[in-house]
Amino acid sequence: MAKKLIVANWKMHFTVGEASLYLHKLQEKVANTRKTTEVVLCPNMLTLQSLSLQVDRRKFRLGAQNCYFQDEGAFTGEVSATMLRSLVDYVIIGHSERRHIFNEDNKLIAQKVQAVVRNGLQPILCVGETRQERADGDTAHVLHDQVTAGLSNITSAEINHVVIAYEPVWAIGTGEFDKADDAVQAIRSIRKNVESMFGKKASQEIRVLYGGSVNGDEAGGYLVAEGVDALLIGGASLKADVFAGIVARTHELESV
């Protein structure tokens, strides 16, 4: 069985010094769970270089929160997947904050997903409906559009490098989280979309995470939910005790 995957999205938090102190604390609290659980830390771009020298790779992998789709060129302010190659294993693409605050559309996101794979890294493609879309009963359509567009530049030989994160927009950073049963439904429809593009095997093997206001208390519900390969965690990943608790719980559930 595939290992569980816990991804910490630190978003735009921590200076270089603060990130280093926090990683130090995390390394003391998080045990080595390598046998059952892969733990990926996604700090801001500026801190990646220094954390890559400090990180205990027996416990953690690193990921970036974004990248541009061109490998190099006149793209002021951007960082490419090529530049991230020696630093990270994963890159979060199409996070709802990128989609909604920075107006990233499905076409750009598809180009980024492809760039990440082209550079030998693994994209974590984020998809999810807004509150209005959910109220209108459009969740399945929205997920279909985001998944099929996001994966449109990926070949069947590459699909096993992709991770999808289901993050309902209304649940991100709000303290409201999706009921595990509803998340299971949504994730099932994501796998159906993958199946129609890449076949049954790919749809069963692709790792799909849940994200959105996951904290220590209800994380366990998602960890045992059908088809959920674990979690993408924002706010709670900034609290060392809570985050270490979620990693420990995952390891415990997977060890039985």
Regarding 211 and contact with ligand PGA (CB under 6 A), the answer is: yes
CA distances from 49 to 9, 46, 75, 86, 128 (A): 16, 7, 21, 9, 30
Q: Which of 214, 219, 228, 230 contacts ligand PGA by CB under 6 A? A: 214
What does DSSP assign to residue 169?
Answer: G
Q: Give min distance, CB of 200 to ligand PGA, in A.
A: 29
Q: Give min distance, CB of 211 to ligand PGA, in A.
A: 4
Catalytic residue flag (residue 176): no
Catalytic residue flag (residue 252): no
Return the range that interacts with ligand PGA (CB under 6 A); candidates 46-54, 140-148, 180-188, 210-218: 210-218
**Contacts for 229-232: CB closer than 8 Å, 24+ residues apart:** 229/2, 229/4, 229/5, 229/163, 230/4, 230/5, 230/6, 230/37, 231/5, 231/6, 231/7, 232/7, 232/9, 232/92, 232/124, 232/126, 232/165, 232/167
Give 209-234 as a DSSP string: EEESS--TTTHHHHHTSTT--EEEES
Q: Which of 95, 104, 129, 251 is catalytic?
A: 95
CB closer to ligand PGA out of 131 and 201 = 131
User: CA–CA separation, 110 vs 152, rounded Å?
Assistant: 6
The owner of tokens 């959105």 is 212
What are residue 209's DSSP bridge partners?
A: 165
Q: Which residues in 149-208 contact ligand PGA (CB under 6 A)?
A: 167, 172-173
Q: Which of 63, 94, 234, 245 contacts ligand PGA by CB under 6 A? A: 234
Q: Contacts with ligand PGA: how many residues (CB under 6 A)? A: 13
Q: Which of 97, 104, 167, 251 is catalytic?
A: 167
Q: Which of 94, 123, 212, 245 contacts ligand PGA by CB under 6 A? A: 212
Return the range that interacts with ligand PGA (CB under 6 A); candidates 128-136, 137-145, 151-159, 232-240: 232-240
Pairing outcome for strands 122-127 and 90-93: parallel
Q: Which of 55, 233, 242, 244 contacts ligand PGA by CB under 6 A? A: 233
Q: Where does this chain bind ligand PGA (CB under 6 A)? A: 9, 167, 172-173, 211-214, 232-236
Residues forming the active site = 95, 167
